[in-house]
Amino acid sequence: MLFEVWAPHARAVALQLDDATQAMAPDPARPGWWRTAADAADGARYGFRLDGGPVRPDPRARRLPDGPGGLAAVADPAVHRWLHPWKGRGLPGAVLYELHVGTFTEAGTLDAAASRLPLLADLGISHVELMPLSPFPGRHGWGYDGVAPWAVHEPYGGPAALQRFVDAAHGAGLGVVLDVVHNHLGPSGNFLAEFGPYFTDRTRTPWGDAVNLDGPGSDEVRAYFAGSALALLRDHRLDGLRLDAVHALSDTRARHFLAELSASVDALAQATGRPLFLIAESDLNDPRTTAPRGAHGHGLHAQWNDDFHHCLHTALTGEDQGYYADFARAPLTALAGTCTRGFFHDGGWSTFRGRHHGAPLRPELPAARLVGYAQTHDQVGNRALGDRLAAGVDRSLLFCAAALVLCGPFTPMLFMGEEWGADTPWQYFTDHPDPELAAAVREGRRREFAAHGWEPGEVPDPQDPATRDRSVLRWPAHLPDDELWQWHRTLIALRGAHLPTGLTLGEVDASADEERGLLVVRSGSLVVAVNLSGAPATATLPPGRCKLLAGHAADGEVAPPGADGVRLPARSVAVLRLTAE
């Protein structure tokens, strides 16, 4: 077996394999690389000594059975015997479902999560989007402080469990998307800086020094992160990746890292014959994120659309603090504009930022390149108490929100439990073994929310095991009997039947009446009309005949539309189809 490592500044490198030490030689074909061959059984522990220093795990370790800082273990991803042939499932027409493995079930493992996949398939979900799985300190955490992007968190089951999960998902007809973090690595167990110039102090991020994507040595750093992404897609048969906070990727090179990565993923898709895709999280509102590489864009296949969330959230809750202030003045009008333009901030003034923000998207952009949602791990978990919409708004408004997400123009995404209106909180929790790091995280969280008027004792302690326990989903005994679950199932079916996958932003119309709480959105021939107010009102529909497909009201029923529009009871929604009759 060949062992190799990039350590350009080391004068000597040795392989520590179980109890044996073996010198490594420079690779004559690749400057800065060291290599040696050794017999190694599956599971054998190994690491590298740089210049006689302590043994460090392989930066490209496929398995870290003892977590960050522990020795790597030999693991061959090719040994898994795949049970279900899979041709892939692309992003067009997708309905995403974001879940956190550690709180999706009480057991908090990939195998336990796999047992719930048939329910998601029955609901109509097309792709499960897993939050990060890279090894991180302790057992429980969100996963955004992971250390080894090539490996899988051992308490979740390790890399073999991820392959079993993906295999089971494909057997149920579900694609799998994985959230990966390239913009930083966690501080605990992170030894990359000892191996080479993986980080730079030329740019600072909220997590410290930036990843070195454009300085000396950055060719290998870029290859390290791109290689980990390709390995996950190839060896675990994932269908796509969600890229965390790409706005924090500082890169001044002529060809941005994201363009390089998207080209590599497209090449892998062609080689494997499976559609593969990348979804970015970005707060830049930059059209270049999803613009084709041939048009000087990054060529990513989609991006999260926080503007849509913020408009919808303020319309449902009335909240106006922080970044919600930009949307709260006229939330329904803002939502109508976002549905038709893609971004709310597309070059205009942002009060929250104190500057102009964003740039316009082109009308011919496929609307599916934006991901729309009412809740995500960020928008729930980064609230002081981690409270979901179901904990703070009338239940009937959840039906309205679901229709706007699932029958709206963008690729829809649900956050786990949203489909039945789970009101369990989803809070920020950690399990740092390092007491100093644990104290810093705890105090940082308290300081953050003290600035918004919260008392320290009101903010859950991330290190308290009870914080994670409160965040575990409490699954209903008879989920398919739940009215809200059935509503989501109906909406997903209507979307699949009536909303074209090639819909462009230019084919979306929307109108709002702030005073009466009315919003009407037409995506192709599919029309959603909502009344968020406490009084009945009649919504004017697009020209033509509209047929009522589904409706829900807090009290009473939604009747078929008449000549003057559709009569909507208080806090109600109608989903209609514009026909040629």
First CA to last CA across the chain, in angstroms? 69
Asked whether the beta carbons of 441 and 430 are under 8 A apart, the reply is yes
Cβ(275)–Cβ(283) below 8 Å:
no
57, 58, 560 from 40: Cα distances, Å: 16, 15, 70
| Residue for token pair 């890279």 | 134
H helix runs in 384-434, sequence order: 395-406
Could you tell me if 463 and 496 are in contact, meaning their C-beta atoms sit under 8 angstroms apart? no
Report how far Cα 88 is from the mean position of its chain's Cα atoms: 19
Nearest-angstrom CA–CA distance, 531 and 10 = 66
DSSP structure class, residue 419: G
The span from the CA of 315 to the CA of 106, in Å, is 33
Query: Residues 6 or more apart from 202 whose CB is under 8 A from it?
Result: 210, 215, 250
Separation CA 405–CA 399 (nearest Å): 10
Distances (CA, A) of 478 to 57, 112, 132, 474: 46, 18, 30, 12
- Counted residue by residue, the chain has a size of 581
> Quick check: is 283 catalytic?
no
Helix, strand and coil content of the chain, in percent to the nearest 5, comes to 30, 20, 45
Please, which residues have CB within 8 angstroms of residue 523's CB and are 6 or more apart in sequence?
Answer: 339, 367, 407, 408, 409, 499, 503, 507, 508
The strand pair at 302-304 and 277-280 is best described as parallel
- Whether 244 is catalytic: yes
* Side-chain-side CA neighbours of residue 132 (13 Å): 27
* Contact indicator for 245, 217 with CB cutoff of 8 Å: no
Specify whether the CB–CB gap between 541 and 562 falls below 8 A: no
- Picking from 222, 236, 306, 316, the residue whose alpha carbon sits closest to that of residue 268 is 236
Distance CA 310, CA 373 (A): 10
User: Which residue in 58, 220, 244, 306 is the catalytic one?
Assistant: 244
List all residues 6 or more positions away from 116 whose beta carbon is below 8 Å from its beta carbon: 104, 105, 475
Angle between helices 306-317 and 331-341 (to 10 degrees): 160
The DSSP call for residue 429 is -
Catalytic residue among 58, 145, 281, 306: 281
Q: How far apart are CA 398 and CA 391, in angstroms?
A: 11
Among all residues, which ones are annotated catalytic? 244, 281
